[in-house]
Structure 1
Amino acid sequence: MPWKESTTMSSRLEFVMLAQAPEANIAALCRAFQISRKTAYKWLDRYANHGAEGLFEQSRRPHSSPASSSDELELQVLALHLENPCWGSRKLRELLPEHLPRPHHSTVDAILKRHGCQVIGAPVKQDLASTRFEHDLPNSLWQMDFKGHFGLTTEAAGRCHALTILDDHSRYSVCLTACSNERFSSVQAGMQATFERYGLPDRITADNGPPWGSTGLKGLTKLKVWLIRLGIRISHSRPYHPQTQGKDERFHRTLKLELLDRRGFGSIAQCQLAFDEWRDKYNMLRPHHALGMKPPITRYERSGRELPSVLRPIEYLSSDIVRKVDAKGYISYANQRHYIGEGMQGQPVAIRPDPDNDGLLEVRFCHHKVMELDLKAVT
Structure 2
Amino acid sequence: MADGDKNRVIVLAIVEGSLSVAKAARRFGVTRQWIHRLLTRYRAGGLEALEPRSHAAHAPAGRIPDDMRARVVALRDQLVSGGLDAGAESIRDRLTRADITPPATSTIYRILRAADRVTPEPHKRPRSSWQRFQAAAPNACWQSDMTHWQLGDGTKVEIISWLDDHSQFLLHITVHRTVTVRTVTDTFLSAGRNHGLPASTLTDNGRIYTTRLAGHHGGQGHFEHLIDSLGIEQRNGRPGHPQTQGKIERFHQTLKRWLTARTDATTLDALQALLRAFQHVYNHERPHRANDRRTPAETYEAVPKNAPRVGLLGKFWRVRHDTVDTVGVITLRRRAR
TM-score of the alignment, normalized to the shorter chain, above 0.5: yes
**Aligned amino acid, residue 151 of structure 1:** Q
The equivalent residue for 1:78 is: 73
Q: Offset at 1:202?
A: 0.6
For 2:184, the equivalent position in structure 1 comes to 187
Structure 2 counterparts to residues 284-363 of structure 1, below 5 A? 284-301=284-301, 303=305, 316-317=315-316, 346=332, 348-349=334-335
Matched residue SS, 1:174: strand
Mark the structure with the bigger radius of gyration.
2
Identity in percent: 27
Q: Distance in 2 between matches of 1:269 and 1:236?
A: 31
Cα 1:189/1:130, change in 2 over 3 Å? closer
Instruction: Kindly report which structure 2 residues correspond to 1:106-121, keeping only aligned pairs within 5 A, or say none.
Output: 106-118=106-118
Match of 2:18 in 1: none
Instruction: Give the structure 2 partner of residue 250 of structure 1.
Output: 250
CA drift of 1:96 comes to 0.2
Contact kept in structure 1, 2:185 and 2:222, CA below 8 Å: no
- SS of the residue corresponding to residue 214 of structure 2 reads coil
Give the equivalent residue in structure 2 for 1:103.
Answer: 103
| Structure with the higher fraction of residues in strand conformation | 1
Q: Report how far residue 245 of structure 1 moved.
A: 0.8
Q: Deviations over 1:269-299 (max 9, x none)?
A: 2222222222222222222222222222232
1:223 matched to 2:223: yes
SS at match of 1:84: helix
Counterpart of 1:153?
Answer: 152
Q: Is the 8 A contact 2:137 2:305 kept in 1?
A: no
Tell me: CA distance 1:249–1:304, structure 2 relative to 1, closer, same or farther (3 Å). closer
Q: Is it true that 1:87 corresponds to 2:86 in the alignment? A: yes
CA apart distance, 1:137: 0.9
Q: One-letter code of the match for 1:279?
A: Q
Q: Which residue in 2 is equivalent to 1:202? A: 199
Q: Structure 1 counterpart of 2:117, which letter?
A: C
SS at match of 1:133: coil
Unmatched runs of 5 consecutive residues or more in structure 2: 1-63, 323-330
Contact 2:138 2:306 in 1 (8 A): no
Which residue matches 1:172?
A: 169
Cα pair distance change 1:276/1:135, threshold 3 Å? same
SS where residue 178 of structure 1 aligns?
Answer: strand
Residue identity matched to 1:100: I
Residue 212 of structure 1: how far off its partner (Å): 1.2
Separation of aligned partners in 2, 1:176 and 1:82: 27
Q: Name the aligned partner's letter for residue 215 of structure 2.
A: L
Aligned residues: 249
Contact 1:200–1:303 (8 Å) recurs in 2: no
Cα distance, 1:163 vs structure 2: 0.6
Describe the SS at the equivalent of 1:197: helix
* Cα separation, partners in 2 of 1:247 and 1:124, compared to 1, 3 Å: farther
Q: Name the residue aligned to 1:127.
A: 126
Please state whether the residue corresponding to 2:231 is helix, strand or coil. Answer: coil
- Alpha-carbon distance in structure 2 between the residues aligned to 1:222 and 1:127: 42
- What amino acid does structure 1 have at the position aligned with 2:161? T
Structure 1 297/288 Cα, relative in aligned 2: closer, same or farther at 3 Å? same
Contact 1:198 1:303 in 2 (8 A): no
Question: 1:261, CA displacement in angstroms?
Answer: 6.7
Letter in 2 for 1:89: A
Q: Kindly state the Cα deviation for residue 176 of structure 1 after the two structures are TM-superposed.
A: 1.9
Task: Normalising by structure 2, report the TM-score.
Answer: 0.64
**More off after superposition, 251-260 vs 82-91:** 251-260
How far 1:178 sits from its partner (Å)?
1.4
Q: TM-score, length-normalised on structure 1?
A: 0.57
Q: 1:278 to 1:118 in 2, by over 3 A?
A: farther
Instruction: Name structure 1 gaps, 5 residues minimum.
Output: 1-68, 307-312, 325-344, 352-362, 364-379
Q: Cα distance 1:259–1:137, how it changes in 2: closer, same or farther (>3 A)? A: same
Post-superposition CA distance 1:198-242 (Å, at most 9, x none): 110011111111211125322311122222233322121121111
Q: Which amino acid aligns with 1:197?
A: N
Aligned-residue offset at 1:141: 0.7
Equivalent-residue separation in structure 2 for 1:162 and 1:88 (angstroms): 27
- Give the Cα–Cα distance (whole angstroms) in 2 for the partners of residues 89 and 102 of structure 1: 11
Q: Which residue of 1 aligns with 2:25?
A: none
Over aligned residues, Cα RMSD in angstroms? 3.4
